[in-house]
Structure 1
Amino acid sequence: MNLKNRMRVMSVMAIAAMTGLNACSEEQGAATNLATTNQDLIGTVIQQNLAQPISKKEQLSMWMTVNGHRFEVILEDNFTTQALIAQLPLTLYLEELNGNEKHGQLSGTLPTDEKRPGIIHNGDLMLYGNQTLVVFYKTFSSIYSYTRIGKLEQPEELQKVLGSGNVEITFNKD
């Protein structure tokens, strides 16, 4: 379930809980009927949200602009991306490293959930440690751990657009 759907379910559950607490002071019969109604409402909302496929419009995304080219980044639904989004718009100077990535330091730290991906893909956007943003422009094997932030849509031209040296990249919401 994506973040938007989770928020809907949590809102309904909170309303149901508050209504249920209020009903405790009512007559027993009315409270029982209200509890049943709340359970039915919660069940219906959950079923509707699970039945709806996540459309591209509901996905979390941002834009990355480099050398006049704009790439959409489909973001992971995690605390790291939420913290990064809170910093947008953001312009970073990224340095070339190993002929397969550009990396740059954020002004502050982000929460992490590091994992070893094994394979890094062209277009992956990840966090190394808690402060280094990395844009990968080649696919390769890696033993390092990263927190996944997102993936660029249509990264085929990314290596050419980034060039061989250091580069300035801007991230924004629209």
Structure 2
Amino acid sequence: MRRRRSIGVLLAALICAVVLAGCGGSADSAAGSSADKAAASESETKQTEGDRKMTIRIQVGTEHFTARVEDNASVRALEELLPLTVDMSELNGNEKYYNLQEQLPAKEEQVGSIRAGDLMLFGSDCLVLFYKDFQTSYSYTRLGRIEDVLGLEKALGDGSVKVTFSPDN
């Protein structure tokens, strides 16, 4: 009789241990599952933000252009200044520039070639909008690019021109 009782107690203890271990594992799995879900949700949010089309609107006279912008600190700082209307000066027959009153974060790189529609930062305070393609040895921080440049060169004209940069909502 004692032997059966001992086996019964041992069996009951073993069952409790298995059940408790199972519960602990489930709790850990549930917590891990919640953490995994939160991480996946955060990853999806970041991916969605990275995939979303970030743009700014550029108005020159009556012409409107849309620039797709980079996701970098320079652009985020520029967006804080928008809307921004400036008188851009002519330089080299291929670009308009404006010296900002404040410096933006810069991460310059040798770009090699410029394409019409490129919006760049020269140094940390010179906003440059290019309207012709050419090769360059200068370094710039990429801000964005007007993809449809039809009419851009004509709109910018020969001399200084008033340009408005605004959020594209």
TM-score, normalised on structure 2? 0.77
Amino acid at match of 1:38: S
Q: Provide, for residues 71-121 of structure 1, a one-character-per-residue CA deviation record: whole Å limited to 9, x for no partner.
A: 001000000000000110001111000000000011101000100110000
Q: Please, which of 125, 135, 145 is the counterpart of residue 131 of structure 1?
A: 125
Give structure 1 stretches of 5+ with no counterpart.
1-26
Q: Say if 1:114 and 1:147, in contact at 8 Å, map to a contact too.
A: yes
In structure 2, distance between residues paired with 1:124 and 1:51? 25
Q: Which residue of 1 aligns with 2:29?
A: 33
Amino acid at match of 1:45: S
CA RMSD for the aligned pairs?
A: 2.6
Matched residue count: 146
Q: Which residue of 2 aligns with 1:144?
A: 138
Q: Say if 1:63 and 1:171, in contact at 8 Å, map to a contact too.
A: yes
> Is 1:45 aligned with 2:61?
no
Give structure 2 stretches of 5+ with no counterpart.
1-22
- Please list every run of at least 4 consecutive aligned residues from structure 1 whose deviation after the TM superposition is greater than 3 angstroms: 27-31, 42-52
Q: Say if 1:100 and 1:136, in contact at 8 Å, map to a contact too.
A: yes
Amino acid at match of 1:155: V
Q: Please, which of 143, 157, 160 is the counterpart of residue 166 of structure 1?
A: 160
Q: Which residue of 2 aligns with 1:122?
A: 116
Q: Which residue of 1 aligns with 2:106?
A: 112
Q: Provide, for residues 123-170 of structure 1, a one-character-per-residue CA deviation record: whole Å limited to 9, x for no partner.
A: 000000000000000000000000000001301211111111110100
In structure 2, distance between residues paired with 1:65 and 1:130? 23
Deviation at residue 51 of structure 1 after TM alignment: 8.4
Deviation at residue 28 of structure 1 after TM alignment: 5.8
Query: Kindly tell me: are residues 137 and 51 of structure 1, through their superposed partners in 2, closer, same or farther at Cα, counting changes over 3 Å?
Result: closer
In structure 1, distance between residues paired with 2:76 and 2:43? 26
Q: Say if 1:92 and 1:105, in contact at 8 Å, map to a contact too.
A: no
In structure 2, distance between residues paired with 1:106 and 1:70? 22
Q: Say if 1:93 and 1:166, in contact at 8 Å, map to a contact too.
A: yes
